[in-house]
Structures are given as C-alpha cells and as structure tokens.
Amino acid sequence: MSHCSALRGFRACWIAASAIALGCSLFPDTPPEAQIGAGGTGATAGLGGSSGSAAQGGSSGGGAQGGAGNSAGLGGLGGTPQGGSSGSAGSAGQGGPGGSTASGGSAGISGCNTGVTPPGGSCPAVCSSCANGVCTINCGSNCANNSFVCPAGFACVVNCSGNKVCENSQLNCNEDYDCQVVCDGNQACSNTTLSCAGGRCALDCNSGNKVCDGAKLECGARACRAQCSSSSQPSVSCGNSCNCIEC
C-alpha cells in the first residue's frame, strides 16, 4: 500500500496548494476519458443473377427444325442446319445495403484524476484556515457526532487527529471540488462518513486502533480512493466514479 509522506496535523498531501493535484501517485496520468464506439459492419452484397439459358433454336432453312437451346439445330433432309441463338446473360443482383455506423461511446468526465480548481473566497467560519481555495478543518471536540458541509467554492481537508475525534461524524462535499479526510488516532474516524458529489474524494485511515472501523466513503463522479495502513478499513461505494480505488 502506497502512503503519503509522514506529515502530521495538516496532512494535505493529496491536495496541492495551487493546482489541487493528487499526491502519492494514486491515480494514473491518463484517465479513461473517451471511449470511442466501433463502426458498424456492412451488410453482405447481394448475389449476382444467374446467366440466362440459351434460346431455343429457330427453324432451319429448307424445312429442318432447329435443336433445343445451346446445341445447334439438326439439319433436315436436304436442308442446311442452323444453330439456335444463345440466350443473353442475366443481370447481376443488387448489392445489399451497407451497415449503419455505430455511435461513439460516451465521453469520460473532464478532470477525472486532476480535479477542478476551486475559486475560493473569504474564509468561512467553519474552516480553521484557507489557502488557494482549500478550506482546512482541524477537528477537536467539535467534530465528533456532528455533520459538516464543505463551504461553497472551496475544496476541503479535514484533519481528524486524536482519539475518537471524528467519531460518528459526516462531511458532505456537494460541489465539483476535492474533499479529503485524514484520520490519525484510536477510533479517530470510526463510523465517519465522507460523501462526495462531483469532486475527487479521499479518506486516509492512517495510525490508531480501529481508526476507520465502520467508516464509509461515498464516491462522487471523479476519482475516489481510500488509503489504509491497517486492517481497519472503510467501506467504499464507488457509485459512478470514473476511477475508484479501495484499500
């Protein structure tokens, strides 16, 4: 299991200050953003018509009757035999219609692995600090058994450092910007839920006994990953995520 470098406190390795780029190389550089549909197969061309049969031979001069098609007429007594004329060839059959072209596959979501830069603004009261559109929430006794919404226009990093500090809490990220919860401590994020809509989503279960027991990661449309350093792992609901990675 790959890990971020050992940062404590703000542990925001996943979200860079300027570009909000994922750390730890957890996502591939080239997202599967455009699947192209295959062309349809053309129908088989129609078969050519069969050649016409030879015409029946005409009557011979001098009274001799012509023979059946393809063979020369037999000469009558004292007459000059004349062969029947050959039939004309049948026209070729019409070719079958070409197959219709298959429609292209639906395009992948833009910025699946690279994320969307948040506009930011004045730092909301719920944030411990703000920088480059990232709201950092350092949880203390105010986070356990509470629900939070990442402020509009911001990406969010929630640091849950301490025993049971984020127990039974929920963070909802309702926009297209990144959200990350970092857990360190005994039962620091037990029964914690991180729910994302359109942005990248990450739940880091680092040190501590039962650090993420009962935790849930509900992915949004973009890249989503859980990272674990022990057997205490969250459940992951990938949903329609374009790139979902479980522990």
Query: Average pLDDT in the 153-176 region?
Result: 97
Q: 35 versus 176: which is more confidently predicted?
A: 176
Question: For residue 108, what pLDDT is reported?
Answer: 64
Q: Residue ranges of the domains in the chain?
A: 129-245
Question: For residue 110, what pLDDT is reported?
Answer: 82
Query: Average pLDDT in the 74-89 region?
Result: 39
CB proximity list for 164: less than 8 A, separation 6 or greater: 144, 185, 186, 187, 188, 190
Query: Average pLDDT in the 162-187 region?
Result: 97
228 pairs with which residues across the strands?
A: 205
Rounded to an integer, what distance in angstroms lies between the CA atom of residue 120 and that of residue 127?
12
Question: For residue 68, what pLDDT is reported?
Answer: 38
pLDDT tens by residue, 14-68 = 443 333 333 333 344 333 333 323 333 333 333 333 333 333 333 333 333 333 3
235 pairs with which residues across the strands?
A: 216
pLDDT tens by residue, 106-163 = 346 888 999 999 999 999 999 999 999 999 999 988 899 999 999 999 999 999 999 9
Local structure of residue 40 (DSSP, 8 states): P
The answer to whether 203 and 179 are in contact (CB under 8 A) is: no
